[in-house]
Amino acid sequence: MHPAPSVIIFSVFSGMGFGLLAMLGFGFAQAYGIAGFLWWGLGYSLAIAGLLSATFHLANPKNAIKAFSQWRSSWLSREGIAAVATLVILAPMALSDWLNLGWWRGFGCVGAVLALFTVFTTSMIYTQIKAVPRWNHWVTPVMFMAFAITGGAILAGLPVALWLIWTVGAALLAMWWIGDGAFARAGETMGTATGLSAIGEVTVFEQAHTSGNYLLREMIYVVGRKHAAKLRIIAMGLAVALPALILVLIPAPFGFALAAVSHLIGALAARWLFFAQAEHVVGLFYGQR
Amino acid sequence: MTTLPATTPKKLGLAIDLDTCVGCQACVTACKGWNDQGAGLSDQDPYGADPSGTFLNRVHSYSVQPIEGASQIVNFPRSCLHCDDAPCVTVCPTGASYKRAEDGIVLVNADDCMGCGLCAWACPYGARELDADQGVMKKCTLCVDRIYNENLPEEDREPACVRGCPTGARHFGDFADPESKVSKLSAERGGFALMPDLGTRPVNRYLPPRKKDMRLEASVLAPLLDIKATGFAGWLDRVLGKI
């Protein structure tokens, strides 16, 4: 799949943002006055920047408002609704923390649960697609949730981040380990795609078109996989190992700030691979993956 | 509404005969020609070095190698299969994608489409292509503007690809009716669905290439090489043979 920067930035930034909003909403990290404003502002900024980035992926954004309508069947629609609901419901809590009003934390807890649900809906947009076997597994939501909760905990300056970060490492390893065999396990081949396996072995005699098309650019994007092994090491190093080391060696708050930057860059590398390594079964019609 | 109808009284679709198809691409041009009216299907740099365009139908060519005997060329038209359990419809966040309750045709309402491309990701068959100029998703409509069009002569009330096929390799009809031409053809010829394990329950059926005739041990050209001359040439042949 084509690793579009808008979608990578959207899912990483909004994931981390909603993770931080969840930590602030539950009240795991509390600050008042200007510090409270900045903390909540960071959470809102990341979440909103991510959502805005997602709209750059749309070829016809003027109809984006209609995306709130199909929550009955569409995870993408559910995500839009959950994201907006989270930002609205958490607003009183943010106001309360900023101005030290001491309002009831119920709003915060509901909003925090919604924030995590938003990240879950994001992950389900990919998980639901059977045509992309690498994504079509429960490990995908686990990976998204691990990134959001860990990223949120680092940004919130919670010491537990040092332990949470290993869930990201485990989720990435599981994602890669399970994902590498997923296409083969799904069992689709050129023979099943064309239905010609009953006759014999199918190969491409001539392509359907001599130049590129939307399918080749969007779903059969092989360029991004070239440096997969190196990118995996970079992702694991920057998202997990280095931030863990920083959290141990450098005291708060600088440790958390440095760890957050490293974790964010690592998460972007991991998310690039999430798209670039995902193979769509439509490639079989072209004899490619 | 992007929830799917539980069942449709009609299941309109195509039966594509892989035995008869010669890969001439007439269906591709007929489709592009008919559907290029109105908003149309845009092309980018069509006469330049890197042409690209929106097509609702593509014809692939495969070489199939049986365990014994010579390989076969199979031409393979690929378009929307109008699935009963269409994943492209349910993922749509705006309600632009829908499956018609009356006849099962899967359509996109361009006025609602925001061009997110998720439906194209969800489709295993590559049936949907985003129009780069208009920013909305395009797909086979089964020529819904032809098949019910009373302004057209009756013989033209079928999809352009079917009407334009010079070898009669494409058949249009109602798969919900076991007595329809397409249902009978599919039953008779062992029509199959593509990637059925993905649970999309496609309506369209492909008719497999027929078995090849028995191959003789000797060259098929042998009878042509054993020429018996007659008349003057025969007399000359006999005389010269005796000298």
Mean pLDDT for B194-212 is 94
Distance from CA of A107 to the nearest CA of B (A): 28
Distance from CA of A74 to the nearest CA of B (A): 5
**Inter-chain residue contact A196 with B64, CB threshold 8 Å:** yes
**Inter-chain residue contact B93 with A74, CB threshold 8 Å:** yes
Tell me the per-residue pLDDT of A113-126, one tens digit each, with 9 for 90 and over. Answer: 999 999 999 999 99
Residue of B nearest to A131 (CA): B124
A242 CB-side CA count, 13 A:
18
Alpha-carbon dihedral sign for residues B225, B230, B233, B237? positive
Report B:17-56 residues touching A (Cβ under 8 A): 18, 50-55
- Extents of the domains making up chain A: 5-286
Go through the domains of chain B in sequence order and give each one's CATH number. Answer: 12-207 (3.30.70.20)
Tell me the per-residue pLDDT of B25-73, one tens digit each, with 9 for 90 and over. Answer: 999 999 999 999 888 999 999 999 999 999 999 999 999 999 888 889 9
Report B:64-103 residues touching A (Cβ under 8 A): 64-67, 71-74, 76, 78, 87, 89-96
Residue of A nearest to B128 (CA): A215
- Write the single-letter amino acid at A225: R
Distance CA B30, CA B51 (A): 19
The number of C-beta contacts closer than 8 angstroms across A and B is 204
Closest CA to A265 of A41, A56, A13, A37: A13
Chain A residues near residue B90 by CB distance under 8 angstroms: 73-74
**Inter-chain residue contact A199 with B66, CB threshold 8 Å:** yes
Mark A232-241 as b/e (b = at least 16 C-beta within 10 Å).
bebbbbbbbe
Task: Decide if pLDDT at A195 tops 80.
Answer: yes
Looking at residue B1, its pLDDT comes to: 62
- Res. B236 pLDDT band, cuts 50 70 90: confident
Report A:74-93 residues touching B (Cβ under 8 A): 74-77, 80
Closest CA to A182 of A114, A228, A132: A132
Confirm or reject contact between B175 and chain A (CB < 8 A). no
Distance CA B211, CA A267 (A): 54
Mark B113-139 as b/e (b = at least 16 C-beta within 10 Å).
bbbbbbbbbbbbbbbbbbbbebbbbbb
Looking at residue B10, its pLDDT comes to: 95
- Asked if CATH classification 1.25.40 holds for the domain at A5-286, the reply, yes or no, is no
Mean pLDDT for B192-218 is 87
Looking at residue B218, its pLDDT comes to: 58
Alpha-carbon dihedral sign for residues A22, A26, A28, A32? positive
Tell me the per-residue pLDDT of A6-38, one tens digit each, with 9 for 90 and over. Answer: 999 999 999 999 999 999 999 998 888 999 999
Q: Which DSSP string do the residues of B170-229 spell out, in sequence order? A: EEEEETTSTTSHHHHHHHHHT-B-SSGGGS---S-EEEPPPPPPPPPSS-TTHHHHS---
Confirm or reject contact between A206 and chain B (CB < 8 A). yes
Tell me the per-residue pLDDT of A146-164, one tens digit each, with 9 for 90 and over. Answer: 999 999 999 999 999 999 9
Confirm or reject contact between B132 and chain A (CB < 8 A). yes
- Res. A175 pLDDT band, cuts 50 70 90: very high
**Inter-chain residue contact A60 with B92, CB threshold 8 Å:** no
Average pLDDT, chain A: 94
Closest CA to B75 of B31, B143, B27, B34: B27
Task: Decide if pLDDT at B240 tops 90.
Answer: no
Task: Decide if pLDDT at B217 tops 70.
Answer: no
Mean pLDDT for B90-110 is 96
Task: Decide if pLDDT at A61 tops 60.
Answer: yes
Distance CA B224, CA B119 (A): 57
Chain B residues near residue A196 by CB distance under 8 angstroms: 18, 62, 64, 74, 76, 208
- The set of residues, in sequence order, having a beta carbon less than 8 Å from that of A80 and lying 6+ positions away, is A67, A68, B93
- Pick from A63, A69, A189, A192 the residue to mutate for testing the B interface (most B CBs within 10 Å): A63
Closest CA to A143 of A181, A116, A175: A175
What DSSP state is assigned to residue B4?
P
- Cross-chain CB nearest to A128 (options B61, B91, B132): B91
Tell me the per-residue pLDDT of A248-288, one tens digit each, with 9 for 90 and over. Answer: 999 888 999 999 999 999 999 999 999 999 999 999 999 98
- The set of residues, in sequence order, having a beta carbon less than 8 Å from that of B49 and lying 6+ positions away, is none
